[in-house]
Structure 1
């Protein structure tokens, strides 16, 4: 089952797909997709992001693949929904997308073994974790300006139940910029798979419902410009769309309506 979280008529609703371009609310009402503001499909709690978790991406950046997971945290301000906007600052010379499988934790656990790790997963969604290379101080530990800017990480449109994805380690990832394919990969190429990441993170802290693990991106990064429309898509989960805007647009719009959190 696919689930969405939307803002409509001044309230936040849970919804599921209905037909090709409609949504059905919990109370049974049917509404058109273009009538709503899409929110992140889950309310993020603690969010873990992986650096260099695909060998081809590490090679693309001329780095050796890591021997242990490279993890950093993201604040909840960083997230926005499907069809939202993200800002490219005027001083940026290189800003790129990162199509990533996001793993949603469903049940708490501490010192979870790989054998039981998937029992703690509620489902999956799509993330686009933008980065501005100009701000990067160290590829291994991205600083706050790179990964915690407002609305720099679109999430959605849906979260999909764990049991609806037969094998999350065999999913195709695709990014399109203005309709042209710029990135293609597969989750099979992760250096550290989902059970390994859950075991590692839970070895020193408790994982809780609503925690999210962003599992990294494959090679194929490209600079995005103001006005570009970016689609990040993962097989079986959905296609997440986002638009890049400039400073004037960002500071001039009502972001509560466009990028509601």
Structure 2
């Protein structure tokens, strides 16, 4: 299934995309797409519905973040060998973890607003993993059983805030609008292998990032198993699993960063497309 949340910010309704690409409303069956209904049993109840009988949604509504009420947005840094190389970083021994404030999360096509003083706002396409079942001390072999599904995340980053202000990376990762998520949550049964997904990001129609999840240093299963040894993963939590090469920070001979009016377009095979226009906060 492809689960969505559509409508105005803060007033999104639950829906799904049927096999013909039509948006259908789920409001009569669930109040929202949140961790509370993402268990295997909850998703099975939705699968049992007669999709053809669900109301069609007309027009061109905004899509919100594909999961509501996200408790934790966890991000893995330097998780692609080719991206680590472009930034001159060593291959990490363990997954590098930082947190993105949930207030940064927006819809897949919402405007990305550079904060005041920003000179180095950058793009990062990432595979998002949505937890469906409470996970604590799980093994790598069973880790994917705890996944509800997958989505696209743009881990927008202000590099000066991230690297030049005293403190952790979170400062440069958590600015408002820096977490476009969606357009839809694709349930795990429709993703045969999360380590075989093509990824691409364009800026103003020019290809910047091209990659495949096969080059992850730590697989989705390894990441979930590792994090679950440290703290509990709750239904509706999201893990952004790292970015392939091609970020602005790594461009040679000089870094290239976003400017007002730029347009980012992101795709991951089977997971849809995002499109954001960049604005400046005044």
TM over 0.5: yes
Distance 1:106 1:65 in 2: 30
User: TM-score with structure 1 length normalisation?
Assistant: 0.88
Residue 156 of structure 2 is matched in structure 1 by 130
Matched, 1:39 2:64: yes
Unmatched runs of 5 consecutive residues or more in structure 2: 29-53, 249-256
CA-CA distance at 1:8 after TM superposition: 5.5
Structure 1 range deviating more: 52-61 or 15-24? 15-24
Among 110, 114, 126, the alignment partner of 2:140 is 114
Residue 13 of structure 1 is matched in structure 2 by 13
Cα deviation digits, residues 43-82 of structure 1 (max 9, x gap): 2111210110011111111111111110011221010002
Distance 2:150 2:78 in 1: 20
CA-CA distance at 1:99 after TM superposition: 0.2
Provide the aligned C-alpha RMSD in A: 2.1
Q: Judge conservation of contact 1:45–1:211 (CA < 8 Å) in 2.
A: yes
Cα deviation digits, residues 186-221 of structure 1 (max 9, x gap): 000000001111111011211110111110001101
Residue 34 of structure 2 is matched in structure 1 by none
Matched, 1:62 2:88: yes
Cα deviation digits, residues 82-116 of structure 1 (max 9, x gap): 21011123522221110000000110121100111
Residue 187 of structure 1 is matched in structure 2 by 213
Structure 1 range deviating more: 239-248 or 124-133? 239-248
Residue 43 of structure 2 is matched in structure 1 by none
Distance 2:191 2:233 in 1: 21
CA-CA distance at 1:225 after TM superposition: 1.4
Unmatched runs of 5 consecutive residues or more in structure 1: 249-261
Distance 1:21 1:116 in 2: 32
Among 170, 186, 196, the alignment partner of 1:144 is 170
Cα deviation digits, residues 135-169 of structure 1 (max 9, x gap): 12379x84332011111110000000101011010
Residue 214 of structure 1 is matched in structure 2 by 240
Structure 1 range deviating more: 186-195 or 130-139? 130-139
Matched, 1:84 2:118: no
Structure 1 range deviating more: 5-14 or 172-181? 5-14
